[in-house]
Amino acid sequence: MKKRLLTGLQPSGALHLGNYFGALKPFVDLYQDYDSHLMVVDYHALTTIKDPSTLRQNTKDVIRDYLAVGVDPSEAIIFKQSDVPEHTELAWIFECLVTVPFLELAHAYKDKVAKGLEANAGLFNYPMLMAADILLYDTEVVPVGQDQKQHVEYTREAANKFNIAYGDTFSAPKEMILEGVGVIPGTDGTKMSKSYKNTIPLFGTKEEVQKAVMGIVTDSTGERPENVFSIHKLFRPESELVNLYEENKGSYKTLKEALLDDIEKLITPMREKRESITDEEIKSVLKEGAEKARARANAKMVEVRKKIGVTL
Ligand code: AMP
Ligand code: TRP
């Protein structure tokens, strides 16, 4: 029997190479060893995205991205959160078990308040919806980035609170921190991130990728352009690169072109695959996934509803 794995994807727009090497690739490398559930968390996204067409587009895009990088829909249950109403139902039940001071310590909420911003109640309850996502499927393994570790701890606490109140029902899931290949640097050498405007797009046009690569900040005092080299390391063994960089010492343009070539070799087939995926295909993958996910979620909720006393 394979262990149950579940992860949630934020439908948050265009991906970059940092997302690919930090999250998508490590996921693609491992998901087939598990009974995998891959879910787009559109209701979580509603805490920030208020424009329906953006939400719709981003939801389709995230599925398209995962299919393009190699997730096979026959090897995983791919679905969206809003298609399985049991998620919000179970979240409510957990919200009635945990306290306000406990939720006030959650990072996403705390950070927002620390910035002087007003959080909506959805953001406040965010960790309990995530707990429901995970616990509905008796998930054992939750692959996430380091930033989500606390949310998995909150999930274990929700399970624990429920079990104490109503008897053993949920088992404790474990996070699997996707290490990828460490922190991927951006075009300026700091962590690649949309908010730093230093990204190399994963599925941009050839021109967009070229513009980003040619814009990598180089430092004429160093032996080699470190910012180019450290991104290049993701594509070729360092031993090969050392020679290439030695032969082309000082010729930053040549080295950037070599990097661009290597990036294009990786991206081109994925980009072509991505462009071939129709909206119909996405809808059909999600429909099939929703049916499978609902069957599992529903079975669990029958048990939960009986235990809490809403089934008469
Ligand atoms: P974000 O949309 O920035 O939250 O990123 C989604 C996931 O992609 C994170 O949880 C990380 O695992 C991964 N990621 C994003 N940026 C980087 C980066 N520069 N280096 C490595 N991994 C990254
Ligand atoms: N909170 C996660 C993030 O921002 C997304 C998420 C929602 C999730 N539900 C989940 C991740 C369940 C893993 C399991 O990335």
* Residues shown for the chain: 312
Name the percent of the chain lying above pLDDT 90.
Answer: 91
**Which residues does 150 contact at the CB level (< 8 Å), separation at least 6?**
106, 107, 127
- Residue where the block lists tokens 């089934």: 311
Residue 13 has pLDDT above 90, yes or no: no
Residue 258 has pLDDT above 90, yes or no: yes
The mean pLDDT value for 234-251 works out to 93
- For ligand 2, atom 5, the nearest C-alpha belongs to 8
150 lines ligand 2 (CB under 6 A): no
Element (H, E) at 302: helix 279-308
- Residue where the block lists tokens 């995926």: 277
Ligand located closest to 150 CA: 2
Pocket of ligand 1 (CB under 6 A): 12, 18-19, 22-23, 145, 147, 178, 180, 183-184, 191-193
Residue-level pLDDT at 181: 73
47 lines ligand 2 (CB under 6 A): no
- Using the CB atoms, write b or e for 70-102: b if 16+ within 10 Å: ebebeebbbbbbbbbebbebbbebbbebbeeee
The CA 102 to ligand 1 mean position distance, Å, reads: 27
Average pLDDT, the chain: 95
The mean pLDDT value for 296-302 works out to 98
Walk me through the domains of the chain, giving residue ranges and CATH numbers.
Answer: 4-182+279-308 (3.40.50.620), 204-274 (no CATH)
Token pair listed for 287: 């429909």
Q: Which atom of ligand 1 is nearest to the CA of 194?
A: 3
DSSP 8-class letter at 83: G
The CA 156 to ligand 2 mean position distance, Å, reads: 14
pLDDT in tens, 32-79: 999 999 999 999 999 999 999 999 999 999 999 999 999 999 999 999
Residue 279 has pLDDT above 80, yes or no: yes
Residue 94 has pLDDT above 80, yes or no: yes
Residue-level pLDDT at 219: 76
- Are residues 86 and 292 in contact, defined by beta-carbon separation less than 8 angstroms? no
88 lines ligand 2 (CB under 6 A): no
Q: Could you tell me the pLDDT band of residue 229, with boundaries at 50, 70 and 90?
A: very high
Cα separation, 28 vs 41, whole angstroms: 19
Cα separation, 90 vs 85, whole angstroms: 9
Q: Could you tell me the pLDDT band of residue 146, with boundaries at 50, 70 and 90?
A: confident
Q: Could you tell me the pLDDT band of residue 2, with boundaries at 50, 70 and 90?
A: very high
Q: Is 37 in a helix, a strand, or coil? A: strand
Q: Could you tell me the pLDDT band of residue 275, with boundaries at 50, 70 and 90?
A: very high
**Which residues does 258 contact at the CB level (< 8 Å), separation at least 6?**
232, 244, 248
pTM to 2 decimals?
0.92
Residue 187 has pLDDT above 80, yes or no: yes
The CA 311 to ligand 1 mean position distance, Å, reads: 42
Q: Which atom of ligand 2 is nearest to the CA of 129?
A: 9
Tell me which residue of 219, 301, 224, 306 sits closest to 258, measured CA to CA.
Answer: 224
Q: Which of 15, 16, 19 to mutate to test the pocket of ligand 1 (most atoms within 8 A of CB)?
A: 19
The CA 70 to ligand 1 mean position distance, Å, reads: 18
Cα separation, 242 vs 216, whole angstroms: 19
Residue 180 has pLDDT above 80, yes or no: no
Name the percent of the chain lying above pLDDT 70.
Answer: 99
Cα separation, 73 vs 78, whole angstroms: 7
Ligand located closest to 123 CA: 2
Residue 173 has pLDDT above 90, yes or no: yes
Q: Could you tell me the pLDDT band of residue 30, with boundaries at 50, 70 and 90?
A: very high
